Amino acid sequence: MLLMRATAVPAVVAPYTVPMSDVPLIAHSLAEVYLYILATPCGSCGRGPLRGGEVEPCDDPAEGMTIGITATCGSCQSVTRWKFQLSGPPQAVSADQELVVNSTNEPSRMLDIAQWLTLFRMMTEAAGKELNKPASRRLAIEAAQCLDEALKFFEEDNDLPTKDAFFHHGSRERFRDHPEQFSRQRLLHLRSKLPTRWSMRPNGGSEPRPEGSG
């Protein structure tokens, strides 16, 4: 099963430390794994981008939906191997399908709020540059899902995220220096301009929402 797909989105290179561990990372979907690799710099050279290869199911049936993924750094060619534990059956990420990152209300356990905001910006920029209309719309929907993930780190009635929303020193510094970027009102405003995948509407409505509305 191929994880990575051809996409116009450039990989992020951010000052985050990559945890090197044999303990699997908990992922909600293969799409979340894909975004995690996209947002993670190389553990050896600090650059990237990391390019993912085949998804291999782990041998031990006791591990359930645990998969292994090997990624190669585009800068120094060093190889990183991760284990991910999926909360559902893996579904291939392909170029003509919309990603479903996380259909639950639980925040991500792999990517923190600052990383979701970085992915949101990347996807939005890529959507703006993409000339193919369906592809551009798909990127906009993915950008919206990245914002949805960021919004899961807020408590009701709180305009700033909780401490738990930051997994990395670099993210905490970014919050300290630019708290306004993390305002829930701001994120909701940005979200309101993006399309929604109709089948994922939280109120369970079944009417497709016209593009650009809401």
By the rule CB under 5 A, 72 interacts with Zn ion: no
Query: Is residue 73 near Zn ion by the rule CB under 5 A?
Result: yes
Among residues 165, 52, 177, the alpha carbon closest in space to that of 116 is found at 165
Kindly state the smallest distance separating residue 123's Cβ from Zn ion, in Å.
23
Report how many residues bind Zn ion under the rule CB under 5 A.
6
CA–CA dist 47, 74 (Å, integer): 8
Range in contact with Zn ion (rule: CB under 5 A) among 7-15, 57-65, 68-76, 152-160: 68-76
Q: Check if the beta carbon of residue 127 is closer than 8 Å to that of residue 140.
A: yes
> Is residue 75 part of the contact set for Zn ion (CB under 5 A)?
yes
Over the window 26 to 45, marking each residue x when it contacts Zn ion by CB under 5 A and - when it does not, the resulting string is ----------------x-xx
* 160 lines the binding site for Zn ion (CB under 5 A): no
Question: CB 78 → Zn ion: shortest distance, Å?
Answer: 5
Q: Show contacts with Zn ion in window 123-142 (CB under 5 A).
A: none
- Considering the complex, what minimum distance in angstroms separates the CB of residue 74 from Zn ion? 8
Whose Cβ is closer to Zn ion: residue 78's or residue 103's? 78
Contact window for Zn ion (CB under 5 A) among 19-27, 65-73, 151-159, 176-184: 65-73
Residue 70 touches Zn ion, criterion: CB under 5 A: no
From the list 26-34, 75-83, 115-123, 190-198, the region that binds Zn ion by CB under 5 A is 75-83
Give contact residues for Zn ion (rule: CB under 5 A).
Answer: 42, 44-45, 73, 75-76
